[in-house]
A and B are shown apart, each in its own frame.
Chain A
Amino acid sequence: MSSRAAWRLESLGFSPVYRYVAGKRDWFAFGLPMEGEFASIPKAIDVIRRNVPTCYLTDNVSEVYKRCQEVGWQVCLVVNEANIVLGRLRGDAWKVNPDTPIEAVMENGPTTFRPDNFLEPLTKRMQEKKVGSVIITNSDGVLMGVLYRKDAEERLSQEPSPPERA
């Protein structure tokens, strides 16, 4: 649709004309600003915790565990140099030999959600699945933070219900 519009605009004498191929879905999923009726509806990005501990594939479990303990987190996200989420460490992953490389014990490819996900349906899903937290990445897979269900529930208790999303 945007391609045909770009060509039509050119036929009407405009130049230069560009086409943002990934469109607004990409824009909002990257956590960029929104205008319109949906802008005021609570979204994941509004309540995420951004100070999530991270580590690299080549780190070892003992040093990462120590670092997480120091900041009071039981979870650590494994990222690469571009901050792309590759895995997650939690629960039994900490109970292995302390010298074990992160890569050997991490949970590969954990489920992630986008910053523009509406908070209410996402929270309902977390409640149904009995999930306490989810990872939020932008559309490029870059870590933005972690959404805790209790934070989401608290925020929603102060908000009216959002409309259904198309």
Chain B
Amino acid sequence: MPRDINRNEVQRLIANGAQLVEVLPPEEYNEAHLPGAINIHLKKLDAQTVQQLDPTRPIITYCHDFQ
């Protein structure tokens, strides 16, 4: 079950190797995203697009805010 986390936990997990995934459309990702984040738009999230992710590392998803 995915767990909700805050900013401090994000920083801690990134420091320990977690992957950031921004799930907004590419144009919004291109404007501004967290350092090192990968963009996979929610509408494109499938078995093929997730191949760029490392299955051995934790994943953190985010969008604008509490959407």
The residues of A with any CB-CB pair to B shorter than 8 Å are: 1-10, 12-14, 16-28, 30, 32-39, 166
Which residues does chain A contribute within 8 Å of B1, judged by CB atoms?
A: 10
Interface residue B5 (Cβ < 8 Å from any Cβ of A): yes
Query: Nearest chain B CB to A30's CB is how many angstroms away?
Result: 6
Which residues does chain B contribute within 8 Å of A27, judged by CB atoms?
A: 7, 10, 34, 62
How far does the alpha carbon of A12 sit from the alpha carbon of B47 in the complex, in Å? Answer: 7
Residue-wise, chain B 25-49 has the 8 Å CB interface mask toward A (1 for contact) of 0001111111111001010011100
Q: Which of B12-67 contact A (CB under 8 A)?
A: 13, 18, 21-24, 28-37, 40, 42, 45-47, 50, 53, 55, 58-67
Cross-chain contact B23 with A1 (CB below 8 angstroms): yes
Which residue of B3, B4, B32, B50 contacts A9 across the interface (Cβ within 8 Å)? B50
Cross-chain contact B58 with A30 (CB below 8 angstroms): no
How far does the alpha carbon of A32 sit from the alpha carbon of B32 in the complex, in Å? Answer: 12
Which residues does chain B contribute within 8 Å of A21, judged by CB atoms?
A: 4-6, 66
Among residues of B, the one whose C-beta sits closest to the C-beta of A27 is B34
Most interface-central of B2, B22, B40, B47 (chain A CB within 10 A): B2
